[in-house]
Structure 1
Amino acid sequence: MKGAEPLSLQQVAGLCGLFGDETRVRLLWLLSQAELSVAEVCRVTELSQSRVSGHLARLREGGLLSSRARGSSNLYHVEVEQVPPEGRALLQLFTERVADSVLDGDRRRLAEALRARTGGQTWPESIAGEMERHYSPGRTWEALGHALFGLLSLGEVLDVGCGDGHIASLLDGRCTRYIGVDVSERVIEAARQRAPRRSGGKADAREVRFEVGDMHALPLPDESVDVVLLLHVLSYSAEPERALEEAARVLRPGGRAVVSTLLEHPHAELTARYGHIRAGVDPATLRRRLRRAGMTPQFCEITSRERRAPHFQVVTAIATK
């Protein structure tokens, strides 16, 4: 392996010992396909529990397997990136290139074992009604956002309290110009580093720009943007009315402001850990503030509630100028 650390004779002998058993190679292949309990491995391979447990213990001691607790049992799997470098190449060789009729049978029984976990249902059927709570490969909120944001054409966007620029990456190509403003110089520098890259390896300053600035005195001229985003920033504002007035000032006529903030709550001590200085707002109050700032609320409602205690809720508002 080019660039790899040299191995001692003892290390080479140890690796040969681990991979020098047909059953262990079989188990490595199986656990590279799915995360399984000892009972499930026994069911798929049709081997005894004592034999399987012994091999799993040795593979785990050799750093080739990872495990985690699930109830009263452990689940085992091969996590290639966590395997010591000296064993990684051999592991990939044996799990990716091996082909055998024994493995064909294991593959068939593995599908049956995984299906048995859900009582014979398909995976989507087993989580119907709560799909948003479960992970599946490639199905993340970020991926969904990139897909749906492809429908948008937002013009010039100002992201107030932009943080380290994550929204900029989501809106890449969806607006004619993006301006991110945050009060922290350190955060703005991080945003500049992760800004969407254009040809030549540099962020195009005409399309993406980050500036240090205060939400109560935005560093932009009047009527200069089409959309203002205030996503979870009002909780950090000592003067939320002033922040909304500034948003209205920089909006062009017909422009839109999008506000997302916590619903009023009794957990100020908890949110103070995250720098919040306000304990949320109710929809009626937010509507009044938007009107006083010179905008017309088109929508202002509670849009989500966290499942985990203390069950914070989020208010979302869309207003036009």
Structure 2
Amino acid sequence: MELHRIYKALADENRLRLLRVIANGPYSVAELQAIMQMGQSRVSRHLKILVEAGLARVERQGTWSYYRAAGNGNEAARLQIDLLLRADLAGAAADEARRQECLERRRARAREFHQRVAPTWNKMRRELLGDGRAIQAVLEAVAGRPVVADLGCGAGKLLEELCRRAERAIGVDASPAMLEQARRALDGHAGCERVDLRLGQLEHLPLCDGEAQAVVMMLVLHHVAEPPLALREVRRVLAPGGVLVVCDLCRHDHEWMRTEYGDQWLGFADEQARQLLGEAGFEDTRLEHYQTPRVQLFLATARAPGRTS
């Protein structure tokens, strides 16, 4: 991309503010309107200039479009862009506060949905997982790990299996109603004394550094407001050499899943999953795929750097 086009795009302070926001992840035009306090046409015009300059890219998810910053291959331009984004821009602090409010609205929608469907969640989960081959693959991937954390544990179905196999199983969920369902399901279950249920957000996990030797995220990443932050948190709580297993939806265009299943993201492409895991610091990512009657799933396994103690 020609340098003059890049510098022209960056000459406007509002575009610098906008680029700083989308450098933190994908946002829809409606979300950017609220964050930037601008009208739709103005935001769209600035985004168009950034995209044409190669500084932003658009991702289509069903009928929605999300914008994120794009890496620029010109090293000189990249260094100057980094300096500009770190500059003290007027309004940047307010932008960041509104960005956090946007993320909290995403989290609130997910919490409200899961509070509402908690009594029927296991049935909904079965509809997506199909014949259970993906679950079996998850259990095999974490076999032999003493402490396993199930993040976004929902009503506790996977914990019923994990507590029979691990020395200790930790279930984390942001929904009190889901955790109550999990407590009821595990009550009297063989190995239930080895289960520790904790209320918390995936972006701010209630686990100590390196507490788990394995982490499972089963059908949860597409609900997370900020997946890169959640995966960095997973990296923090995994012991060196620990394994992460992510079972989630492949990229799709099923708009009905936003309302029927409360989805924030319409799945993830293989390249996107690899990139998210790599940027969070994971190694040796492997992907498998499973077709179910309703959706296609991917199973990603990755390892935290270092040796298992």
**1:5-50 Cα shifts (integer Å, max 9, x gaps):** xxxxxxxxxxxxxxxxxxxxxxxxxxxxxxxxxxxxxxxxxxxxxx
| Counterpart AA for 1:174 | R
Equivalent residue number for residue 320 of structure 1: 303
Superposition deviation, residue 141 in structure 1: 4.6
Alignment of 1:161-310 (within 5 A): 161-195=152-186, 197=188, 203-204=192-193, 207-301=194-288, 303-308=289-294
**1:77-108 Cα shifts (integer Å, max 9, x gaps):** xxxxxxxxxxxxxxxxxxxxxxxxxxxxxxxx
C-alpha distance in 1 between matches for 2:132 and 2:280: 32
C-alpha distance in 1 between matches for 2:189 and 2:247: 30
Greater relative CO, 1 or 2 (CA 8 Å, sep 6+): 2
C-alpha distance in 2 between matches for 1:224 and 1:158: 9
Q: Which sections of structure 1, spanning at least 5 residues, go unmatched?
A: 1-139
Alignment of 1:131-146 (within 5 A): 141=132, 145=136
**1:278-297 Cα shifts (integer Å, max 9, x gaps):** 11110111111111101113
**1:196-244 Cα shifts (integer Å, max 9, x gaps):** 6379xx941xx11111111111001111100010111011011111111
C-alpha distance in 2 between matches for 1:215 and 1:181: 8
C-alpha distance in 1 between matches for 2:132 and 2:303: 27
Mapped contact 1:168–1:196 kept (Cα < 8 A): no
C-alpha distance in 2 between matches for 1:285 and 1:193: 37
Distance 1:196 1:174, change over 3 A: farther
**1:158-186 Cα shifts (integer Å, max 9, x gaps):** 10000111111112321010000011001
Q: Does 1:154 align with 2:145?
A: yes
C-alpha distance in 2 between matches for 1:289 and 1:232: 16
Distance 1:320 1:212, change over 3 A: same
Mapped contact 2:144–2:166 kept (Cα < 8 A): yes
The size of the alignment, in residue pairs, is 172
| Counterpart AA for 1:287 | R
What's the Cα RMSD here?
A: 2.7
C-alpha distance in 1 between matches for 2:136 and 2:241: 25
Q: State which structure, 1 or 2, has the greater radius of gyration over its C-alpha atoms.
A: 1
Per the normalisation by structure 1, the TM-score is 0.49
Distance 1:238 1:198, change over 3 A: closer
C-alpha distance in 2 between matches for 1:232 and 1:275: 12
C-alpha distance in 1 between matches for 2:222 and 2:275: 17
Per the normalisation by structure 2, the TM-score is 0.51
Mapped contact 2:171–2:198 kept (Cα < 8 A): yes
Give 3-state SS (helix, strand or coil) of 1:314's partner.
Answer: strand
| Counterpart AA for 2:283 | T
Give 3-state SS (helix, strand or coil) of 2:278's partner.
Answer: helix
| Counterpart AA for 1:286 | A
C-alpha distance in 1 between matches for 2:239 and 2:187: 26
| Counterpart AA for 2:290 | S
C-alpha distance in 2 between matches for 1:227 and 1:153: 9
